[in-house]
Structure 1
Amino acid sequence: MDFDSALKVVGDYGSEQRKYLYLFSFVNLFIPMHIIGLIFLGREPSFTCHRRTEGPACSLQVCPRYVYGDEFTSIVSEWDLVCDKSYKVAQLQSYLMFGFLLGNFFFGGLSDYLGRRPAFICSLIGLAVVTNLSAFTYSYFIFSFLRISIGFFVGGVGLVAYVSATEVIGLSQKVFAGSFYQAFFSIGIMVFAFLANLIRNWRYLAIATSFPICLCVVIYWIVPESPRWLASQGRISEAEDILLFIANKNGNIVKKSSIELDVPSKTISSTKSYGYMDLFRTPVLRKEMLIQAFCWFVCSLVYYGLTLSAGDIASNAYVSVALSGLAEIPGIFFCLWYLDKLGRKKCMYLSMISGGVACFLVIIFSQSATGEFGKHLRTVFALIGKMGISASFSVVYIYSNELIPTVVRNSGLGFCCVSARMAGILAPRATSLGVFNMYALFGTASIISGFLNLRLPETFGKPSPESIDDVENRPANKQTTAKTLVNSETVQAIEENISMLQNGEPNI
C-alpha cells in the first residue's frame, strides 16, 4: 500500500501525531522572535547630542557623544546607530534574511539527504548557540555576523520542523495541522511584543528569546525519524516499524503485515539521491516550481514588508506589533474553515487578491481621507492586507507541501523558501519607498501572484505525490494529454475524409 493508505490504518491524527505537532508548533512559537527581533532589538530610542540643548541632534555634522533616553536600550544606543548610521539597522535585517536564504537552501537539501532528525537537531543547537552569543557581543561587526548565523539556523529550524510535523499526518487533518502550526508563528509575534514590553534591555531580551530554543533540543529524543522520508528512501522496514510504533501509541492494535508499504516504482533505490536539479528536469514539475517560487517571493515580500512597518499602525510600538500578529489569526482561521471547502487553489487566489486590493485601498485613503477617521481607515485596510497575505502564507505552505513529491519535498520547499528569503532581503528596502510606492508594489505583486496560482493543479483530497513521475502523470495532465490525442485523431480523420472525397472515394 502507499504511505497515505498506511496512515489510515495507523490513524490519520492520533494522540502520537498530535504530540509531534504540538512539540514542533511550540518551536514555531519562538521563530518570529528571531526573524523580526530587530523591531525591538534595533528600535531607536529618544536621543540628543550632549553639546546641543535644542533642535534635532542630527543637524550637527559631528556629535562626539549622544545621550539616549532611559525608556529602553537597543543596539542603536549600544553602537550609536543614529543619523547617518541609522541605515545599519535595516542592513542587519537584510543580513539575517540572507542567512535565512542560505539556511533554507542548506538544510532543505541536508534533510532530504540525511533525514529530518539530523537536520533539525543541527539547526536547533546552532540557533541556540549563536542567539546566546549575540547577547554578549560588544562589536557591531561580530553582531552582524551573528545575525547572518541566526538567519541561517532559524531557516533550517522552521523548514524542517514544519515538514516533520505534517508528514506523519493523514490527508483528512493536514489542513488543520498546517493552520495550527502557522498560528503559533502569529501568536509568537504577540508574545514577543509582550516580552519586549517587559524586558527593556536588549541583551536580556535576546537571552529570553534563546532560552526556550535550548529546551526544544529534547524533541530530538522524543520524535522519531519521518517514516514518509524513510519510505521514500527505500528503507521500508524502518518506516513500517515507526508506523507500527505510532499505531500502538494511538491505541490501535495493528500488525506489521497490515501496513506493508510498497516501494514506489521508478523512484527510489537505496543508492539514489535527489537534489535541487531534479526540481527542473521535467516540464510539469518545472512549471509548478517556478510559479510556486514566485508566490513564495510575493508572500514574503509583502508579509515582512507589512510586519517591519507595523510600528506605524498605532502610536505605541508594542501595541502595533501585537496588532500585526493578531491580524494574522483571522486569515489562519479562514484557511482552516475554507481550505477543504473551496480547495487550495481558490483559497490561495482569494487571499492573495484580497490582500492586494486592501493594499491599494490603503493608498486611496492615504490620498483622500484625512484626520482621525482617515487614519483609522488606513489602519483597518493595512491590517486586512496583513490578514490576506498571512492567509496566503498559511495556504502556500500546505499547498506546496502537497504539490511537491516526497523524494524532493524538502529540496522543493527549500527552493521556495530561498525565493521567499530573497524577498525578505529586499523587504527592509521596500519599507523605505514611502507609503504610496510601498503599497502599490505590494498590491500589484499580490494580484499577479493570485492569478498565476490558477495555473496550478488542485491537491485537495488527492494523495501526496511520492515521485517525480507522480507529478508528471497527474490525472489532470493525463486528461490534457488524452484530449490532445483525441483532437489530433479527429483532425487526422477529417483530413482523410476530405482526401477521400477529393479522390472520389466513398466515406465509410
Structure 2
Amino acid sequence: MRFEELLDQVGGFGPFQLRNVALLALPRILLPMNFLLPIFLAAVPAHHCVLPGAPANFSQDMWLEAHLPRESDGTLSSCFHFAYTQALPNTTLGGEGQSRGELQGEPSTVPCPQGWEYDHSEFSSTIATEAPRCLSLQWDLVCEQKGLNRATSTFFFVGVLVGAVAFGYLSDRFGRRRLLLVAYVSALGMGLATAASVSYIMFVITRTLTGTALAGFTIIVMPLELEWLDVGHRTVAGVLSSTFWTGGVMLLALVGYLIRDWRWLLLAVTLPCVPGIISLWWVPESARWLLTQGRVEEAHRYLLCCARLNGRPVGEDSLSLEALRKVAAAERVVRRPSYLDLLRTPRLRHISLCCMMVWFGVNFSYYGLSLDISGLGLNMYQTQLLFGAVELPAKLLVYLSVRHAGRRLTQAGMLLGAALTLGFRLLVPTEKVYWSTALAVTGKGFSEAAFTTVYLFTSELYPTVLRQTGMGLTALVGRLGGSLAPLAALLDGVWLSLPKLTYGGIALLAACTALLLPETRKAQLPETIQDVEGKSAPSSLQEEQMPMKQVHD
C-alpha cells in the first residue's frame, strides 16, 4: 500500500486540508510584506546639502538656486553645493548694478560636509534618512552612500539564501512543523532587533538574519500543504495558497501608506508572528514525512484526525498500526537526506540543475520588476497596489494553464511573457509613460505567474524523502537571483536600459531551461528516489525527460 491510497481513505481534500491551508496563510502573507519592504523602508525622498546661515530676506528657492548646481536634466543637485570664494551679502540677489559673479566670486562644487536636509512630506523616516548618532554609526544612505542602501536588500536575500539551505535540510531531518516554529520565533526576534537598530551595521546584520528566518516560510509552507493533498486538488490548493502572497503585496501598500516611520513599519510586519506561533498548535505534521521516518504512531494519530474532520469512516484493518508499519517499511529512510543525493542519480541531477536555473530566472526577474516602481507616472503606494492587484488575474491564468497546458509549458510561457514585456519596454519612448506603466504591470503579472508555478512544479518533481532538501537547494539559487536583482539596477549607470535588458535576458534563458523538465500534471507525488528514477537509471536524455506520470503507470 502506498501513501496515496491511505490519503484516499481518510480524504485527500476536505475540511482538514482547508483548515491546514488557512492556518498556513499567515506566513504566505508575511513573506511579501518583508521581501518587498525596502520599497518603503529604504525609500529616498528629495534631499539637498545642509546649507546653514540663510539670510532672513532670502526665499528658500532663491537660496537653493544660489548654492546648488544643476544636474544634466536641469534639477538641482542632491549631492553637491557651491563653495564661494566671496561671502554672499545680506541683500537680494540680482540687485541693481550687481552681477552674481561680482558678488560671490567664482564658485567650486563640493560634496555635502554637514549632511543633508530631507523632504519629510511623504516619509517621516527611512533608513536612507536616518541620521548618524556619531561618526562611527553611518546612516545618511544617499549620494556616495546610495550603494549601501541598495545593498540592504542584497544582504537580506543572502540571508534568505542561507536559510533556504538550512531549513531545507533540517526540515527533512527533524520535521516540517518543528522547523516552522523555529522560523516564526527567529523571525520575530530578529525583526524586533532590526527595529531597534542603532547603526547601519546592526541593521544589516539583524536584517540578514531575519531573511534567514523567513526562508523557513518559503521552504516549508508549500510542501506541508501539498503532502496532505491528493493529486486532483494540488493545483487548486496551490493557487489558492499563493493568493495569500498577493494579499500580502496589496496589504504592504496599505501599511506603508499608513505608517511612514521605518521602525514602526518594521514592527507592523514583524508582530503578526506572535499569532502565527500560537496557530502552530493546530497545524499537523506531514504524515508522509512521519512514515518515511518510521514514526508510525504519530502518523496514525494525524491520519485519524484527518479522517474524522473529513467525515470519512475508516476501518480498523485499513488504518491499523500494522498496516501503517507496512507502508513505513517500504518508504522509511535508512540514510539521512543529503544535498549530494540530488546529484547522485541521472534523473534527479537533471531535474536539480534545470530547477536551479529556473528558480534563478524567476527570482531575478520578479524582484527586478517589483523593487523598481519609479518612472511609472504613479506614486509608490498606487504602484504597489496595482502591482499587487495584477497578481490576482495572474493566479487565475496559472490555475487554468497548469490544468490544461501542464506545469512545464506554463512555467516556460510565463517566463517568456515576462521577458517579452521587459523587451518591449526598451522600445517605448520615455514620454509614453502610460505605455511603459502598462507593460510594467503586465510584466509583473507574468513574473508572479512564473513564481506561483515554480513552487507547485518543484514540489511535485522531488520525492518526499528529498522534497524539502530539493526545495532548499533550488530556493538557494533562486535567492541568489533575488539578492543580485537590486544590484543589477545599478547598471543604469553604465547604460540606462541595461538593467531591463539583463532582467529580460535571464528570464528568457530560464524559460528555455523549463522546457527541459519532465511534466508532472496528474502524477502522483514520488515518495522515494526510486520513484523518480524508475526501476533502473535512465540510459539517455530522452528517457530522463519522459513525463513523471509514466514512472507510476
Assess same fold via TM > 0.5: yes
Q: What is the CA–CA distance in structure 2 between the aligned matches of 1:378 and 1:142, rounded to whole Å? A: 38
Between 1:469-478 and 1:215-224, the stretch displaced more is 469-478
Q: 1:49 to 1:410 in 2, by over 3 A?
A: same
Alignment of 1:52-131 (within 5 A): 53-54=63-64, 55=68, 56-59=77-80, 60-71=110-121, 72=123, 73-78=125-130, 79-131=139-191
For residue 79 of structure 2, what is the amino acid of its counterpart?
Answer: C
Q: What is the CA–CA distance in structure 1 between the aligned matches of 2:363 and 2:259, rounded to whole Å? A: 28
| Aligned counterpart for 1:218 among listed residues 263, 269, 278 | 278
- 8 Å CA contact retained: 2:3, 2:327: no
For residue 287 of structure 2, what is the amino acid of its counterpart?
Answer: P
Matched, 1:433 2:491: yes
Aligned to 2:309: 249
TM-fit CA distance, 1:309: 0.5
TM-fit CA distance, 1:474: 7.9
Q: 1:249 to 1:456 in 2, by over 3 A?
A: same
Aligned to 1:387: 445
Q: What is the CA–CA distance in structure 2 between the aligned matches of 1:255 and 1:220, rounded to whole Å? A: 29
TM-fit CA distance, 1:218: 1.1
For residue 268 of structure 2, what is the amino acid of its counterpart?
Answer: A
More helix, by proportion:
1
Q: 1:347 to 1:67 in 2, by over 3 A?
A: same
State TM-score, norm by structure 1: 0.89
TM-fit CA distance, 1:344: 0.8
SS of the equivalent of 1:251 reads coil
- 8 Å CA contact retained: 1:121, 1:217: yes
Q: Deviations over 1:287-323 (max 9, x none)?
A: 1110001000000000011011123334301111222
Aligned to 1:333: 396
TM-fit CA distance, 1:31: 1.1
SS of the equivalent of 1:39 reads helix
Greater C-alpha radius of gyration: 2
- 8 Å CA contact retained: 1:311, 1:321: no
Q: Deviations over 1:7-36 (max 9, x none)?
A: 222112111111110111222111112112
Aligned to 1:417: 475
Q: 1:282 to 1:134 in 2, by over 3 A?
A: same
For residue 502 of structure 2, what is the amino acid of its counterpart?
Answer: L
SS of the equivalent of 1:257 reads coil
For residue 66 of structure 1, what is the amino acid of its counterpart?
Answer: W
- 8 Å CA contact retained: 2:50, 2:112: no
Q: What is the CA–CA distance in structure 1 between the aligned matches of 2:207 and 2:245, rounded to whole Å? A: 20
- 8 Å CA contact retained: 2:154, 2:482: yes
- 8 Å CA contact retained: 2:39, 2:371: yes
Q: 1:7 to 1:139 in 2, by over 3 A?
A: same
Q: What is the CA–CA distance in structure 2 between the aligned matches of 1:252 and 1:475, rounded to whole Å? A: 38
Where in structure 2 are there 5+ consecutive unaligned residues?
Answer: 53-62, 69-76, 81-109, 131-138, 547-553
Aligned to 1:263: 327
| Aligned counterpart for 1:183 among listed residues 243, 261, 264 | 243
| Aligned counterpart for 2:416 among listed residues 333, 353, 360 | 353
Between 1:459-468 and 1:176-185, the stretch displaced more is 176-185
Q: What is the CA–CA distance in structure 2 between the aligned matches of 1:474 and 1:61, rounded to whole Å? A: 70
Aligned to 1:444: 505
Where in structure 1 are there 5+ consecutive unaligned residues?
Answer: 485-508
TM-fit CA distance, 1:255: 2.7
Q: 1:69 to 1:460 in 2, by over 3 A?
A: same
Q: 1:11 to 1:44 in 2, by over 3 A?
A: same
Aligned to 1:201: 261
Q: Deviations over 1:387-442 (max 9, x none)?
A: 11211111111111001011010000000100001111110111222352222222
- 8 Å CA contact retained: 2:345, 2:537: no
Q: 1:240 to 1:264 in 2, by over 3 A?
A: closer
Between 1:396-405 and 1:336-345, the stretch displaced more is 336-345
- 8 Å CA contact retained: 1:311, 1:317: yes
Aligned to 1:469: 530
Q: CA RMSD in A?
A: 2.1
Aligned to 1:312: 375
Q: 1:476 to 1:5 in 2, by over 3 A?
A: farther
Q: 1:441 to 1:481 in 2, by over 3 A?
A: closer
Between 1:402-411 and 1:25-34, the stretch displaced more is 25-34
Q: 1:415 to 1:256 in 2, by over 3 A?
A: farther
Matched, 1:459 2:480: no
State TM-score, norm by structure 2: 0.82
For residue 94 of structure 1, what is the amino acid of its counterpart?
Answer: T
Q: 1:475 to 1:23 in 2, by over 3 A?
A: farther
Question: Where do 4+ consecutive residues of structure 1 move more than 3 Å?
Answer: 259-267, 474-482
Alignment of 1:227-238 (within 5 A): 227-238=287-298
Q: 1:112 to 1:348 in 2, by over 3 A?
A: same
Q: 1:109 to 1:51 in 2, by over 3 A?
A: same
Number of equivalences: 477
Between 1:124-133 and 1:346-355, the stretch displaced more is 346-355
For residue 514 of structure 2, what is the amino acid of its counterpart?
Answer: N
Aligned to 1:278: 341
- 8 Å CA contact retained: 2:361, 2:509: no
Alignment of 1:127-166 (within 5 A): 127-166=187-226
Between 1:403-412 and 1:435-444, the stretch displaced more is 435-444
TM-fit CA distance, 1:62: 3.2
- 8 Å CA contact retained: 1:343, 1:460: yes
SS of the equivalent of 2:129 reads helix
Aligned to 1:494: none
- 8 Å CA contact retained: 1:457, 1:476: no
